[in-house]
Structure 1
Amino acid sequence: MNCPFVVFEGIDGAGKTEISALVAKKLNGMHLESPTGKFNELRKYVDDNLSDNGRFHFYLASSYDLSNKVKESKASNTSIVCARYIHSTIIGYASRQNIDIESVYESILGKLNDIEQPDLTIFLYVDQDNQRSRITSRNDNQNSKNDYMCLQNEDYQKRLSANYRYVAEKEGWRYIDTSSKTIEEVVSLCIKSINSIQLYHDGPCNKICVTAYH
């Protein structure tokens, strides 16, 4: 396999953004945040003003934008590690709307054949107590609407966690529970997982590109 495309998924507070930045530093790579460009400029407006259906289609479109960037990077023999991708958009939407995740999984993901698919997905999990502690310890500008929903709506939090576990099992994601591990331990496990799928690549990677997607 050539330089792989790796995605990090997981519930709010699991450490995806922080872990992705540290993995980038460890690998001497580039850390990006998505939505990028025009999508990033519109993000706050979309979150504050659009309905949930509108937000869903906005983030779905931003996933296509990220997919194009992944394709461009692959053409230059670049490895990509992306924190959050298309699954986060779908799982979050199904959880907020209280829609059966299995039907959403089949009906939406089955139609997205033109989205670049990862070679490996790592699922970061955190238990509810540690999730709450991590979210409340952040500054307000670091938290999203979904973060606050996890604190304020226990039914939503449980649906979100269950839906991530459902898709993780369905997709065969690599699982790491961050609840009682140090950040350094999680980063080390992530790098080992990434290295394990690079054993058979046929050439050196130019760089590691780590993307944080919200």
Structure 2
Amino acid sequence: MFTFICARRLFCHKDTKLIKLCSYLLEDSTEKMSLSVNYPWKYIYIAGSDLPIYLKRGRTLQNESESRISKNYSKLFDKRNSKYLLFSKSRWADSSCKATYVHSAIESHLAYRQKGKWPATTFSHAVFGSEDCVQKGVFCCSTSQEQHSHLHSQIKDFLKENNSFKAYQFHESSSKNIFKLSDIGDDNTYETSDDREIEVEIVKRSSMKGLQENDPVASPIFSLPEISPVFHSYNEARIVLEKLSCVPEVKELLDVTDNCITIATEKSCDQTLLHPFVVVEGMDATGKTTLTELLEKKMGAARYFTPPPQITHLRAFFDKYPEIVRRAYYSMGNYIVAREIIQECQSRPVIMDRFWHSTAAYGIANETSSGDMPEPDHSVYRWPSDLLKPTIVLFLTVSEDVRKQRLSGRGLQATFEEKSLDNDQLFRQRLCDAYRRMNSPSCIEIDAGGTVEEVQSKALQVLASHGVNLHCINK
């Protein structure tokens, strides 16, 4: 086991329900704790949009690569930008690693909801912990000289309004690779004066013992099963939701799932389908709906979606959760619809608009930087052992100009994913890379930038080449 802090950019949501949600989870929202005393840690991991950054507590005195490391990360740690780490001081009744991570991630929404109020500030996920405890918070950084002078006072005001939070500010030192984290609150619960200031050093990943042994490249998020947002079994996803079972919407989701999945899911993945099960994947506005409608008619197929109708009304609620909980929701939808598809495919083909590949790809893209995505042979891309496998998976891609043009024609409010895709080019690339690295089954990429007829023709050719029956069934 290892300890670390990680940070990652995300979009905030304005929803007062999140504030009420935290009250379900806290044992004592006013109890104060020190980062260094109550949650001892050794490493900090920041998943910057382009490069991962590793910080280690104390000084390693390994200065031979100091200039190279400093140059790589100079943009993030620019002297003109102020940087802060915010996290919850709350304790939870369930102190297990997974529960602490999930609960603190939810409460951290209270911090990054400030994005709309603090202009020219980059907001990021942050996670820190110890051998038996991992907790989430928020990393924020000013992006303009003007905001640099205002961010400190804004965070101080936030701490006064939300006394369950604590904040540390990054300060540079005489060494290029050394930073100091100093407490900016009014907390008086420290055992020693040293607890108010913590020294950290930028290091290479190889310096982080326990981190590089089994997984020398991938983000630490995917080295700890307790915090990974990609689930490879029904039980993995359900365990996350059970940590929040006192929340009405979560309980409803679990109840619906229990009613839909009455047989052991392990048996479903081995079912022999009499007709093909075709999944169409892709980012928003790549033509998935259009193609699935055409294939539905061409093949006389049934068309399915995820999340399925039984839990669609809960989607807006779960989309405001941190990634690990959101993906657990979408995973439940995958298992619910898989049960229905097993029965449907005994009488006719099924066309599916998104399935497990999308659930996993967004989880991966949101929790990594472009410099530490899991390699193609990583287990994170492996299909769940207890989930029905598609006959074939088509992955539609278009240029960003075409995608934006199609989005503008919809006239609908942008979703969380659409905002991410629109504002972060590196996120879009990570998402595409995640789709392309999926295996067993892999995604067959189709350029969907042409006319509807051209895209349909390409899709039919791919299906025919993989032995999928294309004969229209007259009804």
TM-score by length of 1: 0.79
1:38 aligned onto 2:304: no
Structure with the greater alpha carbon radius of gyration: 2
1:22 to 249, 272, 294: 294
Deviation (angstroms), 1:184:
1.6
Distance in 2 separating the partners of 1:104 and 1:56: 21
Residue 161 (str. 1) matches residue 426 (str. 2): no
The letter for the 2-side match of 1:185 is E
* 107 and 167 in structure 1: CA distance in 2 versus 1, 3 angstrom threshold: closer
Contact 1:39 1:62 in 2 (8 A): yes
Residues in 2 aligned to 1:27 and 1:114: alpha-carbon distance in whole angstroms: 27
Q: Match of 1:176, SS?
A: strand
Alignment partners' CA distance in 1, 2:341 and 2:355? 11
Distance in 1 of aligned mates of 2:401 and 2:395: 18
Q: Which has the higher strand share?
A: 2
Deviations 1:58-82 (A, max 9, x none): 00111111211111212x3321111
Check the 8 A contact 1:92/1:160 in 2, yes or no: yes
C-alpha distance in structure 2 between counterparts of 1:25 and 1:31, whole Å:
10
Q: Does 1:125 align with 2:389?
A: no
Residues 18, 87 of structure 1: CA spacing in aligned structure 2 closer, same or farther, 3 A cutoff? same
Counterpart of 1:55?
326
Mean CA deviation greater in 52-61 or 24-33: 24-33
Q: Secondary structure at the match of 1:123?
A: strand
Q: Percent identity?
A: 23
Q: What are the within-5 Å matches in structure 2 for residues 29-178 of structure 1?
A: 29-47=301-319, 49-74=320-345, 76-98=346-368, 100-102=372-374, 106-108=378-380, 110=382, 112-141=384-413, 143-167=414-438, 171-178=441-448
What is the one-letter code of the residue matched to 1:158? Q
| Aligned-pair CA distance for 1:39 | 1.3
5+ residue gaps, structure 1 = 209-214
In structure 2, stretches of 5+ residues that fail to align are: 1-272
Say if 1:178 and 1:206 are closer, same or farther in 2 by CA, change over 3 A: closer
Aligned amino acid, residue 4 of structure 1: P
Cα pair distance change 1:124/1:146, threshold 3 Å = same
- Number of aligned residues: 201
Which secondary structure does the structure 2 equivalent of 1:38 belong to? coil
Q: Distance in 2 between matches of 1:102 and 1:73?
A: 35
CA contact (8 A) 1:20 1:83 kept: yes
1:177: how far off? 0.4
Deviations 1:159-206 (A, max 9, x none): 1122222337x8443321012x101211222233334444689xx997
| Greater percentage in helix | 1
2:457 corresponds, among 177, 188, 198, to 188
